[in-house]
Amino acid sequence: MKRVSLTVLVLWMAAACAYAVDTGAVPGAQQPVVKEKIGSGDIHLEAAKYPEFTDIAPSAADPGCMPDNPTVFNYLAGKDIKTKSNSPYLREFDGNTNPDVRKRLVPNPKRVVTVEPWPTGRILDESLLGVQKTDLFITLGADEINPKYRDTAKILVTWTMRIEGECPNWHIGHFICEPYNGSITFVCPAGNVKTRLRAEYEWTDEKGKHTGESKIGHDVIMEMPRTIQKSLQGDPTLTGTYVITREDFPNKKIPDKLTLRVYWENDTALYITSPAGMRNMIVNVIPLSKK
């Protein structure tokens, strides 16, 4: 990752110089500032949706432990885990008042118990659902943003992340009966992992001190392929870039203080990982002397 980081840095420096020649001049007293952040430790996103449930077959020794209609699984497949929209959120069978759920379930001596499925071997971590911060962030202050160039400076941002996905097995015993001794295959359909850049900023004018926060630019997306195991995309590296100008801020000036951070979001049934040392962020501040 370090080699990739240095390569990207060199390319950005070259691009910055070309950009400066085309659109403005870099003053000799204030050369471009480059800052880099490398992610440390693995970071994760929880599966955002239930997988598809296929090849469902009860155990020959326990044929009663099976719904009368496999669409009981289809009722959950692809549903959003965070909001549980359209999800049955099963209660104990005898007390379940949802007729659409009741007609899909066959009573048996073991009864259908309560909860929705969860990943085998771990607890579903709901704190990792939805939009999450990454550890890629850089803060710029007076040392990096010269007040003389707040109208004209350009800030080039790039972030690179290796993104891997694994289709987890799910514990489904409570969904039908306990224990479930049959067989089933879990399939994670193709879907997207999104990244985006957000900014927190401060500036002071004749009216006092102001703060703000906003999304910068557009989502940068990696499509994860359909799989029953680990994701097998040809290139697991996502790269996002954006050039920040004064037009990205409410006062139409580069702020006095600026913190840029990469966020990410999972929209798949995969458990997502970005490995340690396999992501970075580079910020290049170019103090152009004219617009």
Instruction: Decide if 188 contacts 271 (C-beta within 8 A).
Output: no
Q: What percent of the chain clears pLDDT 70, i.e. is strictly above it?
A: 66
- Of 188, 205, 194, give the one whose Cα is nearest residue 252: 205
Does the pLDDT of residue 289 top 80, yes or no? Answer: no
| Model confidence pLDDT, tens digit, residues 31-60 | 789 999 999 999 999 999 888 888 877 776
21-31: average pLDDT: 54
Exposure b/e, 60-78, CB count within 10 A at least 16 = b: eeeeebbbeeeebbebbbe
Tokens matching residue 227:
């799989």
Does the pLDDT of residue 14 top 50, yes or no? Answer: no
Does the pLDDT of residue 174 top 80, yes or no? Answer: no
Does the pLDDT of residue 204 top 70, yes or no? Answer: yes
| Full 3-state SS string of 75-106 | CCCCCECCCCCCCCCCCCHHHCCCHHHHCCCC
Query: What CA–CA distance (Å, rounded) separates 79 from 52?
Result: 10
| Of residues 62 and 154, more confidently modeled | 154
User: What is the phi/psi pair of residue 10, to 5°?
Assistant: -60, -45
How high is the pLDDT of residue 116? 55
pLDDT band at 156 (very low <50, low <70, confident <90, very high): very high
Give the domain ranges of the chain: 2-48+125-169+185-286
| Model confidence pLDDT, tens digit, residues 214-270 | 999 999 999 999 998 887 666 799 999 999 999 999 989 999 999 999 999 999 999
269-289: average pLDDT: 92
pLDDT band at 146 (very low <50, low <70, confident <90, very high): confident
9-21: average pLDDT: 46
Query: What CA–CA distance (Å, rounded) separates 9 from 158?
Result: 9
Lowest-pLDDT range of 25-34, 66-75, 146-155: 66-75
How high is the pLDDT of residue 83? 60
| Model confidence pLDDT, tens digit, residues 73-131 | 666 777 777 665 434 444 333 444 444 444 444 444 344 433 456 676 677 788 888 89
Lowest-pLDDT range of 82-91, 149-158, 176-185, 190-199: 82-91
